[in-house]
Amino acid sequence: MVSAAPGPGRPRNADIDVAVLAAAQRLLADVGYESLSMAAVAQAAGTTRQALYRRWPTKADLATAAVASMSQAAQRVETDDPLADLERELDAFRRGVTRRNGISLVGTMLQNAADPELRSLFRERLVAPRRRRFRRILEHGVELGLLADDADLETAVAACAGILYAQALAGQRPPRDWSVRVARHIWRSCGGAVPV
């Protein structure tokens, strides 16, 4: 769930939710999390700060809800080709993280002074669901006999995201075929064979 449940009284206007999340996404891309303000989001969405606070009581709540709402994970259904599924999931991850100010939002999570609520919501709404999807894909590979029964899936899941972050820290842009290359690397590390 990415927004607070509506309280008693008038039904909540879903159009405001959509406008606010879209405005928050644009502002996060333009100015980053640190410079994001509830007032600026309300103005950009054509609504009031009170309307925002009724839905998202804090900036951390709104920011993580805005980023989580961009997910298209529900459209990526599991198939009987978990290597292709892994490539698709990695590509979605790459596109999300390499959006403007995407890496800087991740960097904010690693700072000692990071808002604990922001860090907790980021992990709950973004990191944990992505890790579960990576793990489920690899588990499916094991179930189908395509990966080793004793594959170190925990390390493989960490590598799915870690490789991109390591490249970003080194100043390297992911190449066009990044998702395919990383999926095959991880697949091999788990005992799988890849197409020639």
pLDDT digits over 86-113, tens only? 999 999 999 888 887 677 777 776 676 6
| Domain 14-68: CATH class, spelled out | mainly alpha
- Please report where in the chains the tokens 């900036």 appear, as a residue: 59
User: What average pLDDT does this structure show over 110-132?
Assistant: 86
Q: Where are the domains of the chain?
A: 14-68, 74-189
Mean pLDDT of the chain: 89
pLDDT surpassing 90 at residue 190: yes
How far is Cα 123 from Cα 196, in angstroms, rounded to an integer?
Answer: 37
How far is Cα 41 from Cα 124, in angstroms, rounded to an integer?
Answer: 23
Fold of the domain spanning 74-189: Tetracycline Repressor; domain 2 (1.10.357)
Q: What percent of the chain has pLDDT over 90?
A: 62
- The two tokens of residue 41 are 């989001």
pLDDT surpassing 60 at residue 2: no
pTM: 0.83
User: What average pLDDT does this structure show over 126-148?
Assistant: 97
What is the pLDDT at residue 31? 87
**139 or 69: whose pLDDT is higher?**
139
